[in-house]
Amino acid sequence: MLGQDVRSAAQDAGHESIALARAELDIADPTAVRAALADARPDAVVNCAAWTNVDRAETEETAATRVNGAGAGYVARAAAELGAWTLQVSSDYVFDGQAREPYLESSPTAPLSAYGRSKLAGEVAVAAAAPAAHTIVRTSWLFGVAGPCFPATIRRLAAEREELTVVDDQVGCPTFTGHLARALVELAETRPAGIVHVAGGGQCSWFQFAQAIVSACELSCHVQPGRTEDLARPAPRPAYSVLGTERGAEVPRLPDWRDGLSDYLAVGVTSV
């Protein structure tokens, strides 16, 4: 989802880009990573590959960390060997969700879940492998055209049902991958070192996000608030994962999440 948008954004910005799917490159294979980057000779590498099944990671943490942790380090090390800059996409799940004001780049990390621990391991691995040539980009609640996502699911379910219950006790920053991709390309050009936070502007709960989706799609389904504890999901979720930044003008600001939703729907996606 994000990778396809980054490829398009890079091309729109006039850059030559090479996009490798998982079938073409397993980032958890260091030999394959080194060979692929040596062949491409990139100026910058944006790592959009990730284990994203949050619940499954609870029982398969070793496998998740192999990709999100070690794999991220392999990419950064191979890029650094060629003099290329690494952009590593990380997550709001590195935080515990106990804050009541936006998390900044310097905020202490304390992941609640195996997925969060695996993403934090990736941050550590990238910083160690390419200490002078990396940008770690924490973002949150991604949705986009090129894959299953929350707006597509809500759109489909709301067309099928008269009522939906969506949790109202998790708050974050929905981020349209089309907007994030352009920011990642900009960061690949400007190369601020270290950690940056880039997410959709504003904040909302999943319930509020669902309400906005149903309203924008002009569906008659009634959306009511629910509680996370009633879902009994294997992995704990941060209750509050709003991201802010203390990095100033060097960090791109994304449009409000509502604008992201509008741009997503304007593409005319088919529900999945």
Tell me: the pLDDT tens digits for 214-270? Answer: 999 999 999 999 999 888 889 999 999 999 999 999 999 999 999 999 999 998 654
Structural domain includes residue 88: yes
Structural domain includes residue 271: no
Terminal Cα distance for the chain, rounded: 13
**Model pLDDT for residues 88-123, shown as the tens digit of each residue:** 999 999 999 999 999 999 999 999 999 999 999 999
Structural domain includes residue 156: no
Please state the domain count of the chain.
1
Name the active-site residue from 74, 93, 103, 115. 115
| CATH number reported for the structural domain that contains residue 108 in this entry | 3.40.50.720
Q: Within 10 A of 59 (CB to CB), how many other CB atoms are there?
A: 12
What pTM, to 2 d.p., does this model score?
0.94
Structural domain includes residue 221: no
Q: Which residues pair with 225 in a beta bridge?
A: 166
Structural domain includes residue 186: yes
* 145 band by pLDDT with thresholds 50, 70 and 90: very high
Is 115 noted as a catalytic residue in this protein?
Answer: yes
Structural domain includes residue 194: yes
The boundaries of the domain holding residue 30 are: 2-148+175-201+241-254
Considering only CA atoms, which of 148, 122, 107, 130 is closest in space to residue 48?
122
Structural domain includes residue 137: yes
Structural domain includes residue 225: no
Report d(CA 218, CA 200) in Å as an integer: 23
pLDDT at 268: 62
The pLDDT of residue 272 is above 80: no
